[in-house]
Amino acid sequence: MENTVESNVRRWLDSPAVSDADKDAIRAMSPAVLDASFFKNIEFGTGGMRGILGPGTNCMNVFTVGRATIGFGQYLLEKYPEAKTMGVCISHDNRHMSREFTFLCANILNEMGIKVYIFDALRPTPELSFAVRRMRACGGIMITASHNPKEYNGFKIYDEKGCQPVPDKIAGVLAKIDALPDELAAQVEPKAEVPGETIVLGPEIDDEYVAAVEKCQINPNLGKQGFPIVYTPNHGTSYENAMRVFRDCGYEVTPVLSQCSHDPDFSGTLSPNPEEEKSYIEPLKLAEQINAQLVVMTDPDGDRCGIAYKSSSGDYRLFTGNESAALLMDYIFSERKRLGILAPEGVMYDTIVSSDLGRKIARYYGLKYETFLTGFKFIGDRIGFYEDLGFGPHFEFGYEESYGCLIDPFVRDKDGIQAILLYCEMAVWYFHKGIPLDIAFDELQKRFGYHYARTTNIAFKGSSGAEDMRRLMDELRNNPPSEILGIKVARFEDYQERVLKGSDGSVTAITLPKSNAIKIVLEDGSWIAVRPSGTEPKCKFYVEAIQPTADGIKEKWRSLTDDLLNSLGVER
């Protein structure tokens, strides 16, 4: 049987639909790039469809995006009798081809008779979610590769509630896409007799979204003078809305001007990803110059955020997504409780790879918590579930360890602008008490135990990389450890098999959807989790060390991580 890569390459080179420029690019590819570009069809993962821009079945291009849009349109027409008039909202980030993909998606849906709403320019992911809800559309599309490098772009879909569909809901979309001809042959058949129209959304959407964000404040009247803040949008979509919110709310904010242009090459930063230390280099330089107390950033599509702060020693330090969210939720819950607005039946949402610290904080304030698979769509979907039910716990906070959280569910995705506004408020609140954030976080850990959680990402590229990840996960499933660093394993959670195995031999069903993820919890509460990324060719290794004191916790985390990777034969 002919090799899949070879057959896909030949199909593209022989197709009259492929441009001469793309054919030349294919011929110039190295064997490794050819393999990565053509060894499979690009897939929907935890954050939609994401890949490197360029020709290829596993890449982002007009053919793969077009095919996905046709399948999504067919699904909407089948599910919603009024889909054509309800319409679809589309937005995009600052990346190469983002605007072109937006027009491509709009034209395809129009050919299917579906009305489309687009913005006059780029807008952040949370505002796309807001627009779907505001316009009562039947769905949404966001063209973005989030915090990935400049070579990437992506395609995310949203349901009528402004939430990315969870697996059982997206199955219908994937079935429609899979039933289509290949990406070079897929087309709208038949075209609607009356094409849909494309409508440009007006400034009222921005106005209403910004107003809703500003209502998230708990203590809006805190004095902000003398508390300088540095902000960067990482060349992305949040600059205009964020600066408007800062101005309206009275904060002293200085933007990193070299990172405010909507540059698709991200030329002003070494990384647009708040998870990476190198993304803070320029913001921290500016912070030193103006003696800022806080640095806040959003990623290119505006759903994630990161913060750095001036410590008690006078230097600048970074929080991880777990750490910043823990400190923020403690502030939110304590202040809502003081003001009498913390719901007695409140709930906090997180994920299986989020720190245990957040759950301990929620319990302390009498809140319930629910933990989901990785992907904020599960949190958004749960909010909608209780909304439809008409009763249930009141949403108080939701977050992921990957620098995303939600304060008010008027959107159904993580919202970087909501987050940075509340981070600023929290930091000012502590500032007036004379408590640097590192001291505040240490006090938090004295109450709940010390937690040190970090993620290690290992790249596995191409068809061989995919097979290596499969073998790695099989090895962990088939030969689970009974102890790590001499600490006994308390339970082994396999989310693909959907079983939890206790050290006492007990087996309990996991009710969450099937996912290729494994979590190993040790008797002292520390844990490790392994999960192939749903959007990138890499495997993620999550490790959290937990102990009563801070002494040696970083070394413990490092030893846990090294022991895990060495046992699996993974090189860093």
Task: Report domain extents, the chain.
Answer: 1-38, 40-206, 222-448, 450-567
Q: Please indicate whether residue 19 is annotated as part of the active site.
A: no
pTM reported for the whole predicted model: 0.95
Q: Given 37, 98, 129, 146, which residue is catalytic?
A: 146
- In angstroms, rounded to a whole number, what is the distance separating the alpha carbons of residues 572 and 277? 18
Say if residue 190 is preceded by a cis peptide, omega within 30 of 0. yes
Query: CATH top-level class for 450-567?
Result: alpha beta
- In angstroms, rounded to a whole number, what is the distance separating the alpha carbons of residues 130 and 44? 22
pLDDT at 232: 98
- In angstroms, rounded to a whole number, what is the distance separating the alpha carbons of residues 343 and 396? 8
- In angstroms, rounded to a whole number, what is the distance separating the alpha carbons of residues 339 and 356? 27
CATH no. of 222-448: 3.40.120.10
- CA 516, 521, 525, 530 dihedral sign is negative
Quick one: which of 485, 491, 472 has its CA closest to 530?
472
- In angstroms, rounded to a whole number, what is the distance separating the alpha carbons of residues 33 and 44? 21
Q: What is the DSSP string of 475-499?
A: HHHHS--SEETTEEEEEEEETTTTE
- In angstroms, rounded to a whole number, what is the distance separating the alpha carbons of residues 421 and 298? 11
Q: Give the chain's residues under pLDDT 70.
A: 1-3, 46-47, 534-535
pLDDT at 535: 66
Fold agreement (40-206, 450-567):
no
Please give the backbone phi and psi of residue 454, each rounded to the nearest 5 degrees, phi first: -145, 160
Residue with tokens 């809140």: 367
Query: Can you name the CATH fold of 40-206?
Result: Alpha-D-Glucose-1,6-Bisphosphate; Chain A, domain 3 (3.40.120)
* Whole-number Cα distances in Å, 304 to 285, 307, 322, 370, 518: 22, 11, 13, 21, 25
Q: What 8-state DSSP symbol labels residue 543?
A: E
Please give the backbone phi and psi of residue 540, each rounded to the nearest 5 degrees, phi first: -105, 130
Q: E strand or H helix at 381, and its extent?
A: helix 376-389
Q: E strand or H helix at 507, and its extent?
A: strand 507-509
Structure tokens at 334: 């304590």
Instruction: Provide the strand spans (E) within 352-479.
Output: 368-372, 394-400, 404-406, 450-459
Quick one: which of 427, 415, 453, 418 has its CA closest to 529?
453
How many helices (H) and strands (E) in the chain? 18, 24
Residue with tokens 């996905």: 68
pLDDT at 1: 33
- In angstroms, rounded to a whole number, what is the distance separating the alpha carbons of residues 472 and 98? 35
Please give the backbone phi and psi of residue 357, each rounded to the nearest 5 degrees, phi first: -60, -40
- In angstroms, rounded to a whole number, what is the distance separating the alpha carbons of residues 276 and 500? 33
